[in-house]
A = this chain, B = another copy of it.
Amino acid sequence: MMKPGHLNAITDVPGVKVGHYTLIEGPENPNGPAFRTGITSVLPPGNNLYKEKITAACHVINGFGKTVGLPQIMELGLIETPILLTSTLNVWRVADGLVDYVIQHNSEAGSINPVVGECNDAGLNDSQKRSLGRDEVFKVIESASTGPVDEGSIGAGTGMTSYGWKAGVGTASRLLHDKVGPYTLGALVVANHGQPELFSINNIPVGQLLREYREKTGEQPEKEKGGSIMIVLATDAPCPLRMLQRMCRRAVHGLARCGTYSAHGSGDFVFAFTTYRPEHSDEPRKVLRQELDHTRTACGSLFQATVEAVEEAVINAIISGETMAGTGGRGSPGIPRNKLQELAKHQGKLWKL
């Protein structure tokens, strides 16, 4: 296992900020409307991303999703807005709010490619009402900060459930020092995916082991509907675009290690960016890129870091979840952490408990 960074979070990548806007509103009774939703923002460093675009890639693991902004990233290898994550039916309002934000800081902007991912929180949230928009977007961007990242049922993770347990936002990081240089790779996920019986943590078949426990306590997990996961990767390693694209495809390996097969109805998307920006060249129309050589050593470290960080971010998203009641009398149970600890006692622990 590679070493995690100081915070074990995507914010270990210098300059990367994360913000959460959480909306928990309305009665927890069976018939009342209720909002259990939010937005999470991931901001690459820089004062004005629209003016100083950043190298980025994306990948579709399973495309049953509404994520906005992919084609332009695929075409140009750039992002020009923060990455926002939210709930499915809010995605276009949040994108439109993000456009407002960019226009406010760039009065001339006529072409803007907002990047907004989503998972479906309709299990707990009155999602058809679409309770998020411009104001919430401004808040989640302006409140973003470096430093520790809150996990679990917060921001975009508020209404999410993964492998049958209340989940949400998770994050982790890995240091690339040994082989690549003084760099860090971080992952942040919103986990809303996974079939309960397939769940595995750190090589323990948790899903099966907890089934009996669950039957005893009478808890009923939310029925699996396909789910989704959003994965954001960040690094300050000066990766060429092609390496970022290949890293994105390794997010699948990390995701798979907890047991999912990426169901038919899953919208599983990956974004990756490097905070490295090329310099201006003395020669006209050119830029100077001092990039990692695209070799086995560099790729091996970055790929392994990706797999490990994604796997741990998923686990963190779930073990940080707390039982929550939501709209229509439905609920989602937090995973029993003491029970987990017991299951893990003979194993080296990967996760934060």
Interface residues of A (CB under 8 A from B): 60-72, 74-77, 88-89, 92-93, 95-96, 99, 103, 109-114, 120, 122, 127-128, 130, 180-181, 195, 198, 200, 203-205, 226, 238, 240-242, 246, 249-250, 252-257, 260-265, 267, 269, 281, 283-300, 303-304, 306-307
Contact = CB atoms under 8 A, between A and B. Distances in A.
A288 B285 contact: no
Contacts of A75: 60, 62-64, 246
A110 B122 contact: yes
A303 B71 contact: no
Contacts of A267: 71-72
A293 B180 CA distance: 26
A298 B281 contact: no
A1 to B, nearest CB: 9
Contact of A299 (B68, B88, B204, B264): B264
A260 B306 CA distance: 12
A346 to B, nearest CB: 10
Given A65-B71, A288-B288, 20 more contacts: A65-B72, A66-B72, A67-B71, A68-B68, A71-B267, A72-B267, A76-B242, A92-B95, A103-B128, A110-B128, A181-B285, A203-B204, A253-B261, A256-B256, A261-B300, A264-B295, A286-B290, A286-B293, A287-B290, A289-B291
Contacts of A238: 286
A198 B99 CA distance: 33
Contact of A92 (B99, B122, B181): B99
Given A75-B60, A75-B63, A289-B289, A68 B89 contact: no
Sorted nearest first, the 7 A-B pairs with minimum C-beta distance are: A63-B75, A264-B299, A63-B71, A253-B256, A256-B256, A92-B96, A110-B122
Contacts of A89: 99, 110, 112
B200 A269 contact: no
B289 A293 contact: no
A267 B110 CA distance: 14
Contacts of A93: 92, 96
6 contacts: A109-B128, A111-B122, A241-B241, A263-B299, A264-B300, A288-B288
A242 B57 CA distance: 12
A96 B88 CA distance: 11
A256 to B, nearest CB: 4
A253 B68 CA distance: 25
Contacts of A113: 66
Contact of A203 (B62, B99, B200, B249): B200
A231 B256 CA distance: 17
Contacts of A286: 238, 290-293
Given A256-B256, A288-B290, A296-B263, A88 B110 contact: yes
Contacts of A181: 283-285
